[in-house]
Amino acid sequence: MWLRLSSILLLCLTAHAEHIVGYYPSWAIYARNYLVTDIPAEHLTHINYAFANIVNGEIALGDSYADIDRFYPGDCWDPGCERGNFHQLRILKHQHPQLKTLISVGGWTWSENFSDAAATPAARELFANSCAEFIMEHGFDGVDLDWEYPVFGGDWDVEHRPEDGANLTLLCNRIRTKLDSLEALNGRPYLLTLATSAGGEHIDDLELPQLSNAVDFFNVMTYDFQGAWSAFTGFNAPLYADPDDPFAEPEHSTFNLHAAMQHYVADGVPRDKLNAGLAFYGKGFGNVNDANNGLYQSFSGPSPNGTWEPGVFDYWQLAQSYVNQNGYSRFFHPVSRVPYLHNPAANIFISYDDTASVREKCEYILTENLGGAMFWELAADRDGELLTTVHNAFENANQLAAPQALTVTRIGDSLSFRWQAVSGAVQYTLWSSAFADAAPEDYSLELSTNATAATVLLPDGAARVFFIRAEP
C-alpha cells in the first residue's frame, strides 16, 4: 500500500536528558580527603550518599562519624548542633536548589540483610517505616536501594531466596506508599530509586514492569563487566560488544552498556526511567601477556599498582600520571568505544573511561532517549573532568534548538527529508512511529546523519509520524 504524503506528520525535537546522578562514598573524607564541600553540585541533579546499612531489619547509619559527627568549618560542638556529611549535604541543597539527595542503602558490603528485610509483610513494613523516618530525620529527598544482588551473587555473606525478585517489588511498593504519605504531609515528592545490575541473569530476576510503577528511576551499573576475575583482559565498561573478543556467551554479546540498556527497555522499563552507569575509575590487570597491546590476553591477578588498592585506579590519577606517561600508551577501541592503557615493560593493562568515551556514552544516552547518567563515584574524578563532560553534553543538547523548516518529498519508493541546520548540532537523528499519539521514547530510530537531509524507504501503513532531533 502506497503511503500518501498527506498522512505524514512531521515533528522537530531536540535531544534531552534529565538526570546526572553522582555517588558520594562516606569514606571519601578519610585518605581521599574529598569532602562534601568539594562536590561541584552545579553539575549534578542528584547525589546518592553511599552507604547506609541494614541492622535488625531497619536502615542504619553506615559510618556515624562521617555521616553526622565530622566537624566542618562553621560547625559547632554544642549539644544539638548538626555536623557531618549529612549537614553539609543540606547546606549544598540550599545553595543549589536543583539538587536532590538520596541515602543509598546496601552496596557490595552491606547487602547481606536485604533478603530478610524484604521477605515478609512485617519485615517490609519495618524497613519501609525506617526509610521514611531516616530521610525525614536527616534531610534526604529519598532512598536508593543498592541490593547486590537479589536471588544470587554479590558478596560472600549475602542472603538469598528464590523469591527475592518478587519480594523486592513488594518492598518497593511498601516504601512507595510511605513516601507518598510523606508527600501528602509535606507537600513535596520523595524519591525511590534502585541501583541495579547490568548482567542479563540479574535483570531477568527482577519484575521490571511492576518495579517501574513504584520507583522513580533505575541506576543501571553498566561497569565492572571485566576485572581480575575474568578469563582474559577486557573492558571494564564497554559501550558496545566487540565481535572479536574471546569471551564466551553471554559475556561476549551482553557485557556492554548498549546490550544492558536495551534489555531493560525490552523488558518494559520506560526509557526516561533508565540512567546508564558511567565508571569514573579504571581496572588494572597484572602479569599480562605482551600481545595485541595487552587486550584480550592471559594475565594473573590485578595489577600491583592502583590508587587506593591494587588494580583499581581513580580517573584523576590515570589522567595525571598514566595516560601516555611512565611507559603507558593509550589506545582507543574502534568498536567498543573505550580507551585502554598498556605498559609492556610492566606487563600491565588498564581499562578505563576518559572524556572521549564518556562523551560518546552521553551521546548514546541522548540518542536512545534515556533518562540520564549515573556514575561511581565523585572522589574518583576529583578534578571534575568527567562530570563536566557529562554536564556539558546534556546541557548543550538541552539548549539546542529544534530543527526548522522540515519538509518531505516522495521520490519513487523513498521519502526524502530536508531541514535547516541547527547551530551547535553535530548530528541529527530521524525517528518514526505508526501512532500519532506515541511518546517520543516509543519511536523507532530510522537513521543518524551529520547532514541536513535524509532518505528512507516508504513505510508500510496508511500513516506515519516522523521526527527529526538535533544532537550535540
| Active-site amino acid positions | 148
Distance (Å, whole) CA 287 – CA 344: 10
Task: Please give the DSSP secondary-structure letter assigned to residue 302.
Answer: B
Distance (Å, whole) CA 28 – CA 16: 32
Query: What pairing do the DSSP bridges indicate for beta strands 339-343 and 329-332?
Result: antiparallel
> In degrees rounded to 5, what are phi and psi of residue 464?
-150, 140
Residues 6+ apart with CB under 8 A from 291: 297
Distance (Å, whole) CA 317 – CA 319: 5
Task: Please give the DSSP secondary-structure letter assigned to residue 368.
Answer: T
Distance (Å, whole) CA 178 – CA 228: 41
Q: Residue 176 is placed in which grid cell?
A: 512507595
> In degrees rounded to 5, what are phi and psi of residue 295?
-85, 135
Cα Dmax for the chain = 81
Distance (Å, whole) CA 165 – CA 118: 10
**Helix, strand or coil for residue 10?**
strand
The CA–CA distances, whole Å, from 462 to 7, 8, 99, 435 equal 7, 9, 46, 11
Q: Residue 463 is placed in which grid cell?
A: 500513516
Taking Cα atoms as reference points, which of 281, 289, 286 lies closest to residue 348?
286
Query: What pairing do the DSSP bridges indicate for beta strands 100-106 and 46-55?
Result: parallel
Distance (Å, whole) CA 405 – CA 120: 59
Q: Are 274 and 264 in contact (CB under 8 A)?
A: yes
